[in-house]
Structure 1
Amino acid sequence: MNVELPQQQPLQPRLLPRVPNSMKEGNVGLYLPSVVTLGAPAAQPESLDVLQQPLVQRMKDDFVDRICLVGGEDRRPQIRDRIRQHMQQIRDFYGGLQDQDEEVITEDMLTKVCTLVCMLEQSNEVSRIILHRIGLGGLVFSMRDMFMLENQIPLFLITFVAENHRVLLREHLSAQVYGDNSLVDLPWADELESMPFHYLEAAYLVYVSRLPGLNQQAIGPNQQAGAPNQQAGVPNLVHDLRFRPNRSATSLVRKGIKFRRSTRCLRDIQFRPGCLSGVLELPFFCVTSDTKILFTNLIAYELSPNSYTDYCITSYVSFMKSLLETTDDVKLLREAHILSCMMANDEEVLDVFTSIETFGVYNNNLFRAVYARVRRHCASEMNTWYATFKSAYVLTPWKIVSLLAAIFVIGLYIVQTACAVLSLRK
């Protein structure tokens, strides 16, 4: 039985969290930008390529001109005024900035929000600007920089420069999360107050929410779509093996468990027991070269103060890490259309999951019923016996072909022997 987590409200205005140094140790490249900075004004992370920054600044200037110069009109004054009207929210977002001049912050936010909008758009014109200024390598790494937790700006700022901001977000998030354009709507209302805190939180909401038009049917009576600041709780950090699968996908198959795709919401993990068999339903997941960076920062987001999540991302990754031990496990889930892999081979996909650090954190309440049912199924000797019998003796197309070939060979041998006996009698 899933236990509903208690609701909590933030005690103070939310601010952009900082990833603890203990999490960054040895993994700075996963948390800090290397090309495009979108974080706090005047912040220059040590991971930045200093020699490339003049080229990056020219690229940002090109983005500002592209967004602000429309039909011969310069929109900069109007955008600056709207940014000034929300200056306190911006200061709260970055945790202060009281010592910085308002005009400096305004100009910095103008540049960064125009940069973010162009990177979301990814039109041919934008791609030409990026390729001209920082090259193909810069294009690849600038896209990854958008996922860094500390490299975010207040997302509501994009409403000041892009009337079609919902379309831009929907199309970009659909490509990043699902690898296609199947996302038909965003999981938040079309109101300024309802917008996610930043882009990374927007990606989080798409991953954990059940959305219309994506076969997002409910699969459990007690499972509800959650969102930041709606559900909260302290994860169970005790490694209770009764509620951990600790079995790879291939070993579960040997226990008579099949795999089937559920929905695209990472909460939708369900085990459906049957007579001597069972079905483990897992959500669709697209694995790309950016998955490690994205999920490393999503986990950092979940573990940060004032995120108020139910640790769905961290719990999902922990669940998948237990299922994927070898490339055979990856192949099994890929052939079940659960994993969509945009990598060179299954070994790279396995490396992505094994390299994502969850720090031993998971929410037992989230998948407790699944763990318990899988454990109960695997503990049944009858289920194990039936699965072994079915694997060894039940005919499959290849076994039928082999049997027919064997019968044919034996028939030829009998005919040959009969002909030899008859020839001896003559």
Structure 2
Amino acid sequence: TLAELAGALAGSAAGEWHAAPLLADGSTAGETSDVVNPADHRDLVGRVTEIRAEDAERIVGMAADSVAAWAATAPAERAACLDRAADLMEARIEPLMGIIMREAGKSAANAIGEVREAVDFLRYYAEQARRTLGPSHLPLGPIVCISPWNFPLAIFTGQVAAALVAGNAVLAKPAEETPIIAHESVKILHEAGVPAGALQFVPGAGRVGAALVDASKTAGVMFTGSTEAARLIQAQLAERLSESGKPIPLIAETGGQNGMIVDSSALAEQVVGDVIASAFDSAGQRCSALRVLCLQDDVADRTLAMLKGALKELTLGRTDSLNVDIGPVITAEARDGIIKHIERMRELGNKVEQLPLPAGTENGTFVPPTIIELKTLSDLKREVFGPVLHVIRFRRADLDRLIDDINASGYGLTFGLHTRLDETIAHVVSR
């Protein structure tokens, strides 16, 4: 029941959470700082002790020393470790949800989805190992996994699980904003049978990640985050070869300018539901979130009116309240950057509409859900990672020009099309 869930979340909030390093030699030296709720900075979620960047070489060396023993573990047993971890996560969903809601500012629905996705990753990679890994498979060695704050359990766990089950030793560096939930994930994997040397938890800021990437024994990097940071890592790795004399692989997932085209045949009710979910869920802090809505001019006014009406039904606030739809953005720096973008759009003469922020949000880093009507896509210079939807109108005769503009804006992770015309689907997909 909701009452039972609320009680479990209250119990999670009462816990004393400390994300300390989990290293092969048991050392925990480093600076300790507070982790606060982005929805209310008066709410202390817990504390984190970050490793020292100068210790990265030694820590990666310990991972390298652990590779042989972990790789010698049968793939079926490595897979079984992931399955046991999945069982433990399912059994502890409420306290894990409670951390996610307070540390990352996620709603209850998104926190449930986060834990379920982490469980799915564990079971998926376990099954893939059973199906594909045999005696001829050789691991790369120590893998540095650098994960984002917007999916602090799911993507963190997915990266770690994939590298681990293939026989690699993992250095798991969470986003500096969300170390506590990542710490719980590593503790669960250790409890499930993964040795401490095969999986080390290395919290820290960007300089720690850079030092881990730069360590001489690092054999690969998995990264999810900004395109700018991925390029820096790519350049860093390109300066050297691995100890085996090969290029060091980088697996990176980054952001993009995601668009949706809506033509005059689309059902407005479906469009509005999809747009609200994609653009404003998680306060727009998803790499896959809708950033640019392209409305055919015949239906633009009606669709926008419905969209603005639906937006007014959403509730903003602290996400550890079960009735909240939209929470904060992750940091004051993120909030200030988004607000600066909105003001720039106003200065360019674009129409801006926003929901008012309700009482109780002044102690967190909230951005009001915002709709900006653009005159041209060229006004957008980069991805805006927050609850901001840009809208542009187009004439049917200009569809190809619109597609050209979208393609010219750089890579997106997602693209949407609302139409009931098969020929439009075929044409847009072909472009």
Same fold (TM over 0.5): no
Q: TM-score range by the shorter chain?
A: under 0.3
Between structures 1 and 2, the one with greater strand share: 2
TM-score normalised to structure 1 length: 0.24
